[in-house]
Amino acid sequence: MVTIETVASRAKVSTTTVSNVINGKTKRVSEATIQRVQAIIRETGYSPNMSARALSTRNSKVVALISHMDPEKSGDFMDDPFMTRFISAVESTLREKGYYIMLRTIGSREDLQKFLANWNVDGLFFTGLFEDDDLYIALREMEKPIVLADSYLSDYGGMFNVGLDDVEGALLATRHLIQKGHVRIVFAGPPIHTGGVVEKRLEGYRAALAEADLPFDPALVQESEFKTRDTLALGASIAKMHDVTAVFATADVMAAGIMSGIRQGGRRVPEDVSIVGFDDLNWCQLTSPRLTTIHQNMRRKGQLAADLMVTLLEGGRVKEHNIILPVHLVERESVFSLQKRKKT
């Protein structure tokens, strides 16, 4: 078995020097020594013992990605293709920088405290944080680096967020439907939480209606969990709303279920009911019809979050606490123009 002592002996340096090279602490190590140690590590296939290093340095090189959700209501968060794409980008970026990722679902402040008591993680990624949640206070009190995703807070404290212009995305989606002649448009999303992403997208939906002098009808706001049976049921319910000609769904995974439910309810997409999604997942081009949606760069979001975390872990400074990425409309075939129908 190759140990750090083996590498140090062959390189004719101390184990401390080898450890410094592995951990990037090379200010007092010559370039020739760095290259020699790295070459021997490659030749021998030496892999540092992470547990031992965590005990000696109090740094585990492990960062936890926490999903704050209730699995009983929302299902397995790994079933969400958006989440898996985000996680993939975070993991690959951390791996390149020598860090590891741990995934965990947390439902309460007590869950978080138990998790941190049992695992030595250097930092936390956290999705879906709200100011009225007791987890907000718990995270504000922590000294570990914390990077949030898609969290709307009035005060981030020492935390950092990477998010989207959700209001603008919903505005673009709803405006597109209105421009195609639709006036009775369902807003479909998961349960709305004050200060959350869905509320921001509802704000954009309402702004587009106001822009076109169309009234806001609360009856057209339809909530559903992301589970397949729930989105199918919502689609079947929308199919019975014969005055409705369009749907803005706040997530592509929901839009796909709604499309199937509408067909099961005896109506056509897009001839009878048009639909616009949000996220621009790869399989939007595999649905029938292909889904018109709002594009967000999920890989870029994950990379930014991971780069931000590494900067914080390595003592760097970050000026901006809330980084907002742009969105744009991708037009495909799931929206029918009522204006063309009138002309014919």
Categorize the per-residue pLDDT at 56 as very low, low, confident or very high, splitting at 50, 70 and 90.
Answer: very low
Looking at residue 105, its pLDDT comes to 86
Superfamily of domain 4-48: lambda repressor-like DNA-binding domains (1.10.260.40)
Nearest-angstrom CA–CA distance, 57 and 194:
41
As a residue count, the chain comes to: 344
Indicate the fold that domain 62-165+298-326 takes in CATH. Rossmann fold (3.40.50)
Each domain of the chain, given as residue ranges in start order, spans 4-48, 62-165+298-326, 166-296+329-343
Opening angle at CA 187, ends 183 and 192, nearest 5: 150
Whether 52 has a pLDDT exceeding 70, the answer reads no
Digit-coded pLDDT (tens) for 214-251: 999 999 999 998 888 999 999 999 999 999 999 999 99
Backbone angles phi, psi at 37, to 5 degrees: -65, -45
SS3 (DSSP) at 104 = strand
Q: How high is the pLDDT of residue 201? A: 98
pLDDT at 48 over 70: no
Q: For residue 55, how far is the Cα from the chain centroid? A: 32
Phi and psi at 190, nearest 5°, equal: -70, 170
Give the mean model confidence (pLDDT) for residues 76-101: 84
CATH for 166-296+329-343, options being 3.40.50.2300, 3.30.720.110, 3.30.540.10, 3.40.50.2000: 3.40.50.2300
Q: Whole-prediction pTM value?
A: 0.81
Q: Which residues pair with 164 in a beta bridge?
A: 325
Given a contact cutoff of 8 angstroms between Cβ atoms, the answer to whether 40 and 11 are in contact is yes
Residue 101, phi then psi, degrees to nearest 5: -120, 140
Q: What is the pLDDT of residues 318-329, one digit of tens each?
A: 889 999 999 999
| CA–CA distance, 140 with 127 (Å, rounded to integer) | 15
